[in-house]
Structure 1
Amino acid sequence: MRQMRFTWPLARRPIRSHYVKRCFMTELKNLIASGESSHLEFKSEQVKPEDVAKEIVSFLNFQGGKILLGVEDDGTISGVSRPDVEEWVINICRNNVVPQIIPGYQKLSIEGKDVVVLDIPTGIAKPYHTQKGDYYIRAGSTARKASREELSRLFQDSGLIHYETTPIASTQVADLNWQRVQDYFLNIHPAQINFKDEDEAARHRLLQNLDILAADGATTVVGMLIFGLQPERHLPQSEVLFAHFKGREISAELLDRKSLTGPLPQVIEDAQRVLSLNLPSASTIEGMKRVEQIIFPDKVLRELIVNALLHRRWGLMGNVRIFLFEDRLQISSPGRLPNGVTIEKMKESTHVPRNPILMKFLQDYHFVEKLGRGIPMVVREMKKLGVREPDFHESGEEFIVTLYRK
């Protein structure tokens, strides 16, 4: 069933125009007729405060939504009669939801009965929980307790914990490429330490201090991504998938396909090289000279490849995908934007790293330089080419960037 969403900003201003109110009421009735969904919940006036809090928390931890008080599960409008309903709702949001919030609130009359519309935004301080300490997420048209994995993702999005420091079971220091480690400490790390001259205890201490090794001696996620001998063996999500299609759809003839594996610095270089080899050469004649035409600037490709790997959610098992079509380039990265970051803010240089330790290593390797400047640069460089502005959007649990070509 198609999900319907409100187009009016409820509770931000009162509805004064009779015409606007009539249109709004029609949309509201249609919304009720469509039934509950991942963004809409019906509640009777007899609902308990803890049950309202559960629904509010699930929406805050999801993508926001609306709760209609005075509507039964089957869509019957039963109405709200209690005179203190607004104070009752605000007290629930203050006392039963942690951290507390102030929801959008509107009371409307439908078929002679009052219905309260609560507008719950996407939470900017995830994860939220009830007064009893229960964390809920939205699953279809119901709220359910978050699983251990889902709760871990919520905490990762909040920046309270970082998946990149998680130890990888059944790994050890022998799973690291010692030549790469030595090169990093000697030539890249600011201290320029001669790693191979240190004794074993000092080596382990250095690796643990940089979160390459965990306290138990296992390799961390970030340690494997940067220095692992075979990262894809332990972290299959580190593989980057490239595909070049002859047409404009994924069903078109496949011209090339690559699976890029290895430590991330190598994968970044390989991805840019594969892309360059697959991009068709174009040129124009200006006067007596042939002038090569740029399809996608190298620094734009590099920025987007690095971003897809740096800012992805490594706890998800999906892969970064780079798809080249005849009219566009599409790069998909697992994980939605971090807490508080919107696409609009991102275009204005807002920078909230999901993986700060990985970012530090990529900075050391000179893949990351001016923080927060990359996306504005991408938009600016593509505008210079006179093509359609790049598209940035979230789809499910992915963030997708699309570059268009002439």
Structure 2
Amino acid sequence: RELNGNIFELIDKTEKFFLENMKTAAWSKGFRTVHKTEYPIKALKEAVINALVHRDYYEREYIMIRMFDDRVEILSPGGLLSPLTVEQLDNLTYIPKSRNKTLVDALMRRKLMDKRGTGILRMNNFMEEWGLPHPTFKENLGYFVIKFIGPYQGTIIKIPEELNERQKKAIGYLKEKKGMTRKDYERLNNVSKRTAIRDLNSMIAKGILKTSGTTDDKKYLICA
């Protein structure tokens, strides 16, 4: 899918793209429903702004966004501007530099960027709030790559004691498969549709599972 427009339109379109393609968990809390996206949208938006502002516009390549089951990667043409290094970014010891100061000033006036050099710190903080690792950085084949590790990569899943044996068995299944349908649950536990729905809805209400997809192809996933 290709997104086009000016820099402000691209920021909005990319945010919409992420929200349309990320999994979202929902559970009840009191009298309201709480929603949580797979990744913090503010962290992804910050990375997109970083790519748009700091890319090398002399390169004819596009910014690329890759979404996988366990990670998101944002690739910006041009690599890091010397003398910046990946190690400095990881350690937050860098001195900010930009190829495109006019774009930086324009985005700061629109309050889409904060003080120069704070973007990585904010991404780290947003990921921490979600209980996810900090983003990682690397240079590869002329691109600067930011990788966000999702909730399914290296996540330790603790099985709550209050679950029944069928539900615990399903959690074990999900550790390996990363997703199951209602029919999978029925076959796994040799139970009726009614029992499967009751068990699965109970785990959703407890914030253990979330759903993805439409009614016809709904999958149950472990919440981060």
TM-score (norm 2): 0.61
Q: Deviations over 1:31-58 (max 9, x none)?
A: xxxxxxxxxxxxxxxxxxxxxxxxxxxx
Give the direction of change, closer, same or farther, for the CA distance of 1:270–1:345 in structure 2 (3 Å limit).
Answer: same
> Which structure 2 residues correspond to residues 93-112 of structure 1 after superposition, within 5 A?
none
Query: Letter of the aligned partner of 1:308 in structure 2?
Result: A
The offset of 1:389, in angstroms, is 2.8
Contact 1:265 1:365 in 2 (8 A): no
> Which structure 2 residues correspond to residues 234-383 of structure 1 after superposition, within 5 A?
258-285=1-28, 290-347=33-90, 348=92, 350-383=95-128
Equivalent residue pairs, number: 149
Say whether 1:402 aligns with 2:108. Answer: no
Distance in 1, matches of 2:70 and 2:28, equals: 22
Give the match for residue 386 of structure 1. Answer: 131
Contact 2:26 2:35 in 1 (8 A): yes
List gaps (5 residues or longer) in structure 2.
152-224
> Which structure 2 residues correspond to residues 133-148 of structure 1 after superposition, within 5 A?
none
Distance in 1, matches of 2:27 and 2:64, equals: 31
Contact 2:108 2:114 in 1 (8 A): yes
Query: Letter of the aligned partner of 2:102 in structure 1?
Result: I
Give the match for residue 175 of structure 2. Answer: none
Distance in 2, matches of 1:386 and 1:378, equals: 13
2:80 match: secondary structure? coil
1:260 match: secondary structure? coil
Contact 1:379 1:389 in 2 (8 A): yes
List gaps (5 residues or longer) in structure 1.
1-257
Query: Letter of the aligned partner of 1:393 in structure 2?
Result: K
Contact 1:311 1:354 in 2 (8 A): yes
- Bigger relative contact order, structure 1 or 2 (CA pairs below 8 A, ≥6 apart): 2
Give the direction of change, closer, same or farther, for the CA distance of 1:395–1:286 in structure 2 (3 Å limit).
Answer: same
The offset of 1:288, in angstroms, is 7.2
2:144 match: secondary structure? strand
Distance in 1, matches of 2:34 and 2:8, equals: 32
The offset of 1:286, in angstroms, is 5.3
Identity percentage of aligned residues: 28
The offset of 1:285, in angstroms, is 4.9
Distance in 2, matches of 1:392 and 1:288, equals: 41
The offset of 1:296, in angstroms, is 1.9
Contact 2:123 2:134 in 1 (8 A): no
1:333 match: secondary structure? strand
Q: Deviations over 1:82-118 (max 9, x none)?
A: xxxxxxxxxxxxxxxxxxxxxxxxxxxxxxxxxxxxx
2:50 match: secondary structure? helix
Q: Deviations over 1:136-195 (max 9, x none)?
A: xxxxxxxxxxxxxxxxxxxxxxxxxxxxxxxxxxxxxxxxxxxxxxxxxxxxxxxxxxxx
- Structure 1 segments of 4 or more deviating over 6 A? none
Distance in 2, matches of 1:264 and 1:287, equals: 41
| Aligned-CA RMSD value | 1.9
Distance in 1, matches of 2:130 and 2:99, equals: 31
> Which structure 2 residues correspond to residues 111-260 of structure 1 after superposition, within 5 A?
258-260=1-3
Contact 2:78 2:144 in 1 (8 A): yes
